């Protein structure tokens, strides 16, 4: 069975400078995969490469069984890739409703609001006036209305209080279970995401230092901490 998203011996970076090398990872339908590691380890670059915004330096990246298109990244979105970046990229001067309508017709918006009902009373409010948690919900809802098969989320909890981060993550879990979306998520709250994810990859120096089921990785926290501190091997 073909994975939704697959990295095969991928080295990635900018120019001639690699950030991560020999990455092998995959995302399957209906699972949350956590991507962990210290700042600068290459997590965001991995998501940008999966979206086709950064070309791999070596190896192969496949989306739904086909090479990720790095010349026309919008084609990846059309094929079923959704990407929520760390800055959320909302149209801050537009309302919540207008942000959602920019991504999909009204029929799909109604479904998205079933996952984030707290957005419904805010439909007429400008996105720039929302709280951090409301903005993150809107960013994910906007991605979901486009009916992605793979969803990339970068730093979901950035700027959020832990309680709000857990609430957003809970909503994301419902989406994954009901729609069968495969999610690759970068997250700073390690324990929280490992308790919610199915599998995890931990970046260390120049590559994957640790991988396995989320439960297994959670049970190997000294190794996770060593990867964050650059003390592998």
Backbone angles phi, psi at 187, to 5 degrees: -145, 140
pLDDT tens column, 16-44:
888 999 999 999 999 999 999 999 899 99
In 10 A of CB 103, how many CB atoms?
Answer: 18
pLDDT at 231: 60
- Below-70 pLDDT ranges, the chain: 1, 231-233
Task: Report the SS3 class of residue 56.
Answer: coil
Chain segment 1-19, per-residue pLDDT in tens? 689 999 999 999 888 888 9
- Four-point Cα dihedral 67, 71, 74, 80, nearest 10: 0
Tell me what pLDDT residue 207 has. 86
Calculate ∠ Cα 212-20-14, nearest 5°: 150
| Residue 205: per-residue pLDDT | 83
| pTM > 0.85 | yes
| Architecture of the domain made up of 28-41+71-228 | 3-Layer(aba) Sandwich (3.40)
Residues contacting 6, CB < 8 A, separation 6+: 25, 26, 27, 60, 61, 62
Tokens at 197, concatenated: 């994810």
The reported pLDDT for the residue numbered 107 is 81
Contacts of 232 (CB under 8 A, 6+ apart): 204, 205, 209, 226
Give pLDDT, residue 16. 82
Q: Measured between alpha carbons, how far is 103 from 86 in angstroms, rounded to an integer?
A: 18
Q: Give yes or no for a contact between 37 and 202, defined as CB atoms under 8 angstroms apart.
A: yes
The per-residue pLDDT for 161 is: 85
Phi, psi of 33 (to 5 degrees): -115, 120
């Amino acid at each position: 069975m073909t994975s939704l998203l697959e990295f095969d011996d991928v080295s990635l970076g900018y120019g001639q400078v690699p950030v991560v090398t020999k990455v092998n990872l995959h995302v399957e339908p209906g699972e949350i995969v956590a991507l962990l590691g210290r700042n600068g380890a290459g997590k965001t670059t991995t998501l940008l490469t999966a979206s086709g915004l950064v070309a791999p330096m070596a190896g192969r990246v496949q989306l739904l069984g086909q090479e990720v298109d790095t010349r026309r990244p919008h084609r990846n979105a059309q094929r079923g890739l959704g990407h929520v970046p760390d800055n959320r990229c909302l149209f801050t001067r537009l309302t919540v409703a207008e942000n959602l309508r920019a991504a999909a017709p009204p029929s799909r918006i109604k479904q998205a609001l079933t996952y984030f009902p707290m957005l419904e009373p805010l439909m007429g409010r400008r996105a720039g006036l929302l709280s951090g948690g409301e903005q993150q919900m809107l960013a994910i809802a906007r991605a979901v209305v486009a009916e992605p098969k793979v969803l990339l989320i970068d730093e979901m909890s950035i700027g959020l209080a832990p309680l709000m981060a857990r609430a957003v993550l809970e909503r994301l879990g419902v989406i994954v279970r009901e729609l069968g979306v495969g999610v690759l998520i970068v997250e700073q709250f390690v324990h929280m995401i490992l308790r919610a994810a199915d599998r995890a990859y931990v970046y260390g120096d120049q590559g994957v230092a640790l991988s396995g089921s989320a439960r297994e990785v959670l049970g190997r926290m000294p190794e996770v901490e060593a990867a964050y501190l650059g003390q592998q091997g």
